Structure 1
Amino acid sequence: MTLTSGHLPATGTITTPGRSLPLRRLRGVGWIGYASAAIILAAVIVAVFGPLLAPFPPNQSDLSHAFVGGTASHPLGFDSQGRDLLSRLLVGARSSMLGAFIVVAVSITAGTALAVIAAWRRGWTDSVISSGSDLVFAFPGLLLAVLGAAVFGPSQWSAALALAVAYTPYVARIVRGAALRERSLPYIEALEVQGSSAWSIGVRHLIPNIAPLLVAQATILFGWAALDLAAVSFLGLGVQPPQADWGVMVSEGETGVLQGFPAESLIAGTALVLVIVSFNILGERLNDKQSKDHS
């Protein structure tokens, strides 16, 4: 039998709902969606190649240049330790983006797995997973990140894993509804009649068909994760100085703000705002497009 549509016609041919390529999902998000995607792409390029693009070592300090403004060779000037702000901004993009990526990857994977299992097995399995998700969902992400830092020590990894635990119930709750709707479609029953295993149906058909929803939610979560990780680093519980990170730069720039040199905090804060807002806007546009496609 050939899989071609979402119902079982008289001929006995089974078809699954159509899947669109990831790039095609960007169609219809509007000019602001395209602008957000361009900013995100630029941020990703900087995160990948930032250490190569940085004109100076990010931790190279020269106190004689503390709070010196922009020059031809140092266009963004220096921080309180006489370090080149442009180099720290470029290098700091990697840790800021990497931490958020870890949060999203872990939470999307774990949340999707729990949601699909709950939707497939239903009954007491669904009740246990839903109750456990509600329990974890009651704890704010930042609180779990602080607890993770207290238990495992301040670091980017402990903060990222703690936030991933906090985000997983949110993903599971959203994906569970979509998985239940997908589970009720005729093609799932037809595949079961053919003898396909639950694992095969879930991995080869159900999850790919809810992939657009996962992409939209992952985009939104990335913005949240970047914001939360920056807040954790600002509190001194995430990335540790002198490592370059946008959250650390905002925190270290407080000294300059009090002394009338707000460049470090403003530059890093602006980069964070641009990236976070871009991810949120694009995620919302993709989510709206997903909702319209299913209405």
Structure 2
Amino acid sequence: MTIVSGPVPASDVSLPTGRRWRVPGLNGVGWIGYASAVIIVLAIIVAVFGPLLAPFPPNESNLSHAFVGATGSHPLGFDSQGRDLLSRLLVGARSSMLGAFIVTAVAIIAGTALAVLAAWRRGWTDSVISSGSDLVFAFPGLLLAVLGAAVFGPSQWSAALALAVAYTPYVARIVRGAALRERSLPYIEALEVQGSGAWSIAIRHLIPNIAPLLVAQATILFGWAALDLAAVSFLGLGVQPPQADWGVMVSEGETGVLQGFPAESFVAGAALVLVIVSFNILGERLNDKQGRERS
């Protein structure tokens, strides 16, 4: 054994490097997507269990507590009617998320069906569906929601169905391209030669193969639907007071903002922005992933 006295040259020393707490494949952008997914999960949990989590009845009013700030048992304070803001925020998540879910589900199902039909039949069927989609594109979603409220009366459901009609052409146009690419692949012709029917092939093979694209579009669509429904409720054409809803809370909080008590509009608006941005970020991440896989 050789004993070396004195300092050891730096070139002969292999210093251990410190541990880096990093998740493989996650950079700064990846962490943002991960945080968005966590926020979305928490928002869904609140939407499902909000009425059970609310510490007080959301519509219980006490005018003597109007615009009172945060207290120990009321961490967000009270609104203009003396109602607990935290309870209304938790309960309002359900109507805000449910309406967006209905819009997204109807638009994805109807848009996918139209896109697959156009891609499969082509010819005049494709032309008619494309022309009809262009016609609906001429009407903004909010305008259709206002027309729906005028015809069927102000409610969350009339606004949601009107917005679903407005979003369906958007879904159909995007899915049509993917369906056309899938329709041209050899396995479709092989299944037809084996005697499989058109709808059997579409439902059992074509649609499952484009499902990742549908998930990405649904995620983006959900965020925009939540924003549009909140705007409709803000205008008084969607969810009707005194039902708790984030759009209604932003509208009712205008009085407080003018009087120097912006808490109601602020907390509801912040919740909307957080959820909408999270859905959009996650949807864009999924879209980018699909684009890389296709290329």
Q: TM-score, normalised by structure 1?
A: 0.90
Percent same amino acid at aligned positions? Answer: 91
**Residue 27 of structure 1: CA displacement?**
8.9
Structure 2 counterpart of 1:199: 199
Question: What is the letter of the counterpart of residue 162 of structure 1?
Answer: A
- 1:33 maps to 33
Deviations 1:171-205 (A, max 9, x none): 00000000000000011011111111001100000
Q: Name the aligned partner's letter for residue 103 of structure 1.
A: V
* Amino acid aligned to 1:38: V
Q: 5 Å matches for 1:13-52? A: 30-52=30-52
Change (3 A) 1:27 1:127: farther
> How far has the Cα of 1:138 moved from its partner?
1.1
Rounded Cα–Cα distance in structure 2 between residues aligned with 1:180 and 1:27: 33
Equivalent in the alignment of 2:227: 227
CA RMSD after TM alignment: 1.2
Matching residue of 2:248: 248
Q: What is the identity, as a one-letter code, of the residue corresponding to 1:286?
A: L
Structure 1: tracts of 5 or more residues without a match: 1-25
Partner Cα distance (1:27, 1:222) in 2: 25
Q: What is the CA–CA distance in structure 1 between the aligned matches of 2:275 and 2:263, rounded to whole Å?
A: 18
Matched, 1:276 2:273: no
* Residue identity matched to 2:137: F
Q: 2:259: which partner in 1? A: 259
Equivalent position of 1:136 in the other structure: 136
Q: Which amino acid aligns with 1:284?
A: E
Deviations 1:25-77 (A, max 9, x none): x9997111110000000000000000000000000000000000000000000
- Structure 1 equivalent of residue 151 of structure 2: 151
Q: Does 1:78 align with 2:78?
A: yes
Partner residue in 2 for 1:54: 54
Which amino acid counterpart does residue 250 of structure 1 have in structure 2?
A: V
Cα distance in 1 for partners of 2:221, 2:284 equals 11
Unaligned runs of 5+ in 2: 1-24
Structure number, greater radius of gyration: 2
Whole-angstrom distance in 2 between the partners of 1:232 and 1:121:
37
Find the counterpart in structure 1 of residue 164 from structure 2.
164
Give 4+ residue runs of structure 1 displaced > 6 Å after superposition: 26-29
TM-score by length of 2: 0.90
**Partners of 1:30 and 1:211 in 2: CA distance:** 22
Distance (whole Å) between structure 2 residues aligned to residue 250 and residue 74 of structure 1? 19
Give the Cα separation in 2 of the matches to 1:184 and 1:288.
23
Task: Please give the alpha-carbon distance, in whole angstroms, between the structure 2 residues aligned to 1:136 and 1:272.
Answer: 27
Report SS of the residue matched to 2:241: coil
Q: Which amino acid is 1:270 matched to?
A: A
